Structure 1
Amino acid sequence: MKKIRYIPYGYTLRNGRTIIERGEADVIREIFDAYIGGASLKCIAEQLTERRIPYSERTNIWDKARIARIIDNAKYIGDGEYDPIIDEDMYESAVSLKTARQRNTFERNCEGINLLRDYVRCEKCGAPMRRRISNKHRIRESWMCTNEECGLKVRIGDTQLLEKVTVLINRIISNSKLLVPRQQKKHEMSPAVQKTNNEISLELERDNPNEDFIIAKTIAMASQLYWDSNTKLQIAASIARKRAEMMNPQDEFNIAYFTDLVSYISLDEGGKIKLHTKTETEIGDEDNGSNQDT
Structure 2
Amino acid sequence: MKKIRYIPYGYTIRNGRTVIEHTEADVIREIFGAYIAGASLKAIAEELTGRKIPYSERTDTWDKARIARIIDNAKYTGDEEYDSIIDEALYETATSLKTARQRNAFEKDSTAINLLRDYVRCQECGAPMKRRISAKHRIRESWMCTNDECGIMVRIGDTQLLEMINVLMNRIITNTKLLVPRRKKRPEMSPAVLKLNNEISLELEQDNPNEELIIAKTTEMASQLYRESETKMNIAASIAQKRAEMMTPQDEFSESYFTDLISYISLDGRGRVRLHTKTDTEIGDDNNASDQDTQKDHNGH
TM-score above 0.5, yes or no:
yes
Structure 2: tracts of 5 or more residues without a match: 289-301
After superposition, the Cα gap between the structure-2 partners of 1:125 and 1:207, relative to the gap in structure 1 and judged at 3 Å, is closer
| Corresponding pairs, count | 288
- 2:174 alignment counterpart: 174
1:9 has 2:45 as partner? no
Q: Which amino acid aligns with 2:39?
A: A
Residues 260-294 of structure 1: CA deviation (Å, up to 9, x unaligned): 22221112234321111111111223379xxxxxx
**Residue 94 of structure 1: how far off its partner (Å):** 1.4
After superposition, the Cα gap between the structure-2 partners of 1:109 and 1:208, relative to the gap in structure 1 and judged at 3 Å, is same
Distance 2:270 2:10 in 1: 39
Q: Secondary structure at the match of 2:144?
A: strand
1:246 has 2:246 as partner? yes
Distance 1:64 1:43 in 2: 8
- 2:99 alignment counterpart: 99
- 2:185 alignment counterpart: 185
Q: Secondary structure at the match of 2:240?
A: helix
Structure 2 matches for 1:46-195, cutoff 5 A?
A: 46-195=46-195
Q: Secondary structure at the match of 1:265?
A: strand
Q: Which amino acid aligns with 1:229?
A: S
After superposition, the Cα gap between the structure-2 partners of 1:226 and 1:287, relative to the gap in structure 1 and judged at 3 Å, is farther
After superposition, the Cα gap between the structure-2 partners of 1:89 and 1:175, relative to the gap in structure 1 and judged at 3 Å, is farther
Distance 1:132 1:194 in 2: 48
Distance 2:3 2:77 in 1: 24
Q: Secondary structure at the match of 2:251?
A: coil
Distance 2:39 2:202 in 1: 73
Q: Secondary structure at the match of 1:138?
A: coil
Residues 114-160 of structure 1: CA deviation (Å, up to 9, x unaligned): 22222212222222221222121121111212222222111111222
Distance 1:273 1:32 in 2: 37
TM-score (norm 2): 0.83
- 1:31 alignment counterpart: 31
Structure 1: tracts of 5 or more residues without a match: 289-294
Distance 2:146 2:264 in 1: 16
**Residue 72 of structure 1: how far off its partner (Å):** 0.9
- 1:291 alignment counterpart: none
Residues 156-193 of structure 1: CA deviation (Å, up to 9, x unaligned): 11222222222222222222222221222233444444
Comparing 19-28 and 190-199, the one that deviates more: 190-199
Structure 2 matches for 1:206-245, cutoff 5 A?
A: 213=213, 215-245=215-245
Distance 1:282 1:245 in 2: 18
Residues 172-218 of structure 1: CA deviation (Å, up to 9, x unaligned): 22222222212222334444445545666777788987665555444
**Residue 7 of structure 1: how far off its partner (Å):** 1.3
Q: Secondary structure at the match of 1:107?
A: helix
**Residue 227 of structure 1: how far off its partner (Å):** 1.7
* RMSD between aligned residues: 2.7
After superposition, the Cα gap between the structure-2 partners of 1:146 and 1:197, relative to the gap in structure 1 and judged at 3 Å, is closer
Q: Secondary structure at the match of 2:6?
A: coil
TM-score (norm 1): 0.85
Distance 1:63 1:2 in 2: 18
After superposition, the Cα gap between the structure-2 partners of 1:260 and 1:28, relative to the gap in structure 1 and judged at 3 Å, is same
Q: Which amino acid aligns with 1:161?
A: L
Distance 2:147 2:109 in 1: 27
Q: Which amino acid aligns with 1:171?
A: R
Identity %: 76
Distance 1:117 1:228 in 2: 31
Q: Which amino acid aligns with 1:42?
A: K
After superposition, the Cα gap between the structure-2 partners of 1:208 and 1:179, relative to the gap in structure 1 and judged at 3 Å, is same
1:272 has 2:260 as partner? no
Q: Which amino acid aligns with 2:284?
A: G
